[in-house]
Amino acid sequence: MSAADEARADPSRTIVGIDVGGTFTDVVLFETRTGRLAVAKVPSTPVNQALGVMAAIRAVEEDLGRITRIAHGTTVSTNALLEGKVARVALITTAGFADAIEIGRTRRMLPSQYNPAFVRPRPLVEHPLRFELAERLDAAGTVLVPLDGGRLPDILAAIRAEGATAVAVCFLHSYANPAHERRVTAELDRLAPDLALASSADVVPEFREYERFSTTVINAALMPVMGRYIAELDSSLASAGCHGELTTMASSGGTMDTVTTRKLPVRTILSGPAGGVAGSLWVAKAAGLTRFVTCDMGGTSTDVCVVEDGKASTTTEIAFAGHPIKGLQIAINTVGAGGGSIAYLEAGSTLRVGPRSAGADPGPACYGRGGREPTVTDANLVLGRIRETHPLGGHIRLDRRLAEEAVASLAEKVGIDDVARLAQGIIDLAVARMASAIREITIEKGHNPADFALLAFGGAGPMHAVELARELGMREVVVPIFPGNLSALGLIASDQRYELVRTFVARLDELKPAKLSAAIAAARAEARDLLQARGFGAERMRFTHALDMRYARQAFEIGVDITGITRLDDIRAAFVATYHRHYGHADASADIEIVNLRTTAVGITDKPVQATADPVSGGRDACVARVAMISHGAAVDAGVYDRHRLSPGVPVLGPAIVEEPGATTVLPGRWTAVPDAFGNLRIRMSDRTQPR
């Protein structure tokens, strides 16, 4: 039996996780038979992400025929929407509602809520591509005006004439009765099978027209983009002899098959960052962490998320590039501060860092690829926090002279003759931006950052984690194993996950338990069929249920997990407790409404188990060098440690630098890092100031 045949005979043998970032594409390979984990980083290929994905796979496995599953996080949808490189899209809607996509709501969504210079982004659907059909349903789904589809051929001709390649079909109250949308999409598919078609009844069957229309339009506009990418990646994998299952990380924190990815690309907007949160949860479970803030700092941005009771915060609506997107997703806050973030003068006098990034090409000045503007990475190199002899990501050799020239050029414009002083200022500004992002999801939500640990990863996260924790008053920093590849590791540690939602409006005190039980049973049956169609047996299925609930006469709702809860009194108690946790108060006797029922179908996949770290050398030969590191204007003697030589329980005292292929951890003075039993660095402030 060949290696490929043997791999196919055992579908859990070799799994690969790939996270495509703005600068690097990270990869992790896991063999379930041996427990072997292999990691690597390769430069990203922004013009064609599939090229970087293939290069990453080959970096850890020469025989692609052995691979049985690939889970990947991608920024294809994210970049396309941010850069406006989406398909030209048409909208077909209920007569009288063609401009709902532009009128929107009078409220603003964060982060633009208090910005006096805010300008609403233009809708993705231009006026000539908004079409109306005579039809009308009421909120219960009852037909008030029958569908008149006679104009569809003329509408299709106009769509062709305008050059649109995607169509969003959004009728009023289709969440309650999708029949009209089904008829229109079926007819369009018959007349024009080449068009990308998105129906709101499939994309986001929830009430609130503007948000539902916006999400469906975005999905339609992304379908051709994602379709081309998946087709090219599938073709490249097949040509290389890889026939393993390809899955994509969803914003909700689980993976989806390629059929779902093509159909619902809007669910991949937070694909990469969601992988990082999933990796954090995998690490935290073994390490016994239940309350922490994730900090994923890569080359372009930093993503942060709050985790309480071992569960990541979630939301059912976000604003992305100014457009509302509905659907369950991990609540991730992103700020444009990464290793490649460019430092510059705004209005000729104010020093700024990010959100503009040098990216993978040309990259920071120290890469030697033509970049001239100073970045956060250049500043770290100038201060001696990174060594020239330590290739970034294991691949990129750094040139300190080029970094110093770039920082010196900006220092001259600022009027500072001390290059190190400006480099420190660049890092301080980057840390301040990250701290602001964490304050938004902690202090502004009623949490004290000091009550949480900071779990830092990404290629640049551990380098700035201690300063960030100190800025926020956080007492512990955790740097997990493989921090530079944790998002990729999170992908292979994630189950397949599919979200089902149906609008279910009911007053809790008027609801008959049998009606809710019937709705849950129907949703569970649909979820079971969905998992069965994807090859999961009953023993590998899990289902959770949640309700979107609110007090009567409130405009917005919160999610309440009701898995295993059947009594209405217990559901009320769960809502009151959740509301109190969110807002610090709750009325246990007020009227409560249910709005939506959400069911999550989870297909359990094989995943790595964290192994305990082996003692290696007692830490005696872990210090491989000593360097002069500049910290806030003072040169300090810092030990440089090889992380792979550290032993559990043996402390490393700052000032120190801990190196590994995918990341560098910087320990200022008075901070101590102790590897735990699983190899994670547990960093706390220490009274001892001299390194061992």
Q: Which amino acid is at 233?
A: L
Q: Collapse the DSSP code of 599 into the 3-class scheme (helix H, G, I; strand E, B; otherwise coil) and give the result.
A: strand
Last residue of a domain, one of 159, 189, 209: 209
Neighbour-count burial of 220, counting CB atoms closer than 10 A to its CB (0-12 exposed, 13-18 middle, 19+ buried): buried
Q: Within this chain, do residues 112 and 177 fall inside the same structural domain, yes or no?
A: yes
Q: Tokens representing 597?
A: 């029922």
List, for residues 509-534, the tens digit of each pLDDT value: 999 999 999 999 999 999 999 999 99
pLDDT of 523? 96
Q: Within this chain, do residues 557 and 665 fall inside the same structural domain, yes or no?
A: no
Q: Within this chain, do residues 592 and 634 fall inside the same structural domain, yes or no?
A: no
Tell me the C-alpha distance between 11 and 608, whole Å: 15
How far, in Å, are 117, 275, 485, 608, 610 from residue 490 at the CA level?
A: 38, 5, 9, 10, 12
In a domain, 565, yes or no: yes
3-state secondary structure 597-617: EEEEEEECCCCCCCCCCCCCC
In a domain, 148, yes or no: yes
CATH number at residue 561: 3.30.1490
Name the strand (E) or helix (H) holding 390: none
Number of domains in the chain: 3
CB 478 within 8 A of CB 457: no
If you search the block for the tokens 């982060």, which residue do you land on?
111
Q: Within this chain, do residues 629 and 665 fall inside the same structural domain, yes or no?
A: yes
In a domain, 663, yes or no: yes
Tell me the C-alpha distance between 379 and 403, whole Å: 7
In a domain, 584, yes or no: yes
pLDDT of 615? 66
pTM of this prediction?
A: 0.89
Residue 537, number of CB atoms within 10 A of its CB: 10
List, for residues 46-101, the tens digit of each pLDDT value: 888 899 999 999 999 999 999 999 999 998 998 899 888 999 999 999 999 999 99
Last residue of a domain, one of 534, 568, 603: 603
Tell me the C-alpha distance between 505 and 103, whole Å: 25
In a domain, 114, yes or no: yes
Dihedral, CA atoms, 160, 161, 166, 169, nearest 10 degrees?
-90
Strand order in 196-199's β-sheet? 130-133, 89-94, 166-170, 196-199
In a domain, 143, yes or no: yes
Q: Within this chain, do residues 124 and 178 fall inside the same structural domain, yes or no?
A: yes
CB 443 within 8 A of CB 369: no
**Alpha carbon 76 to its chain's center:** 12
Residues of the chain with pLDDT under 70: 1-12, 107-113, 393-395, 614-620, 687-692
Q: Which amino acid is at 244?
A: G
Looking at the chain, how many residues does it have? 692
List, for residues 664-685, the tens digit of each pLDDT value: 999 999 999 999 999 999 999 9
Q: Within this chain, do residues 578 and 638 fall inside the same structural domain, yes or no?
A: no
Q: Within this chain, do residues 573 and 630 fall inside the same structural domain, yes or no?
A: no
Q: Within this chain, do residues 102 and 147 fall inside the same structural domain, yes or no?
A: yes
CATH number at residue 167: 3.40.50
Tell me the C-alpha distance between 310 and 316, whole Å: 19
pLDDT of 4? 38
In a domain, 320, yes or no: no
In a domain, 201, yes or no: yes
Q: Within this chain, do residues 587 and 508 fall inside the same structural domain, yes or no?
A: yes
Q: Within this chain, do residues 501 and 532 fall inside the same structural domain, yes or no?
A: yes
Q: Tokens representing 664?
A: 């560098």
Q: Within this chain, do residues 630 and 586 fall inside the same structural domain, yes or no?
A: no
Q: What is the DSSP string of 222-285?
A: HHHHHHHHHHHHHHHHHHTT--SEEEEE-TTSSEEEHHHHHH-GGGGTTHHHHHHHHHHHHHHH
Last residue of a domain, one of 148, 179, 209: 209
Tell me the C-alpha distance between 279 and 292, whole Å: 13
Q: Which domain holds residue 128?
A: 87-209
Q: Within this chain, do residues 599 and 631 fall inside the same structural domain, yes or no?
A: no
Residues paired with 20 in a beta bridge: 25
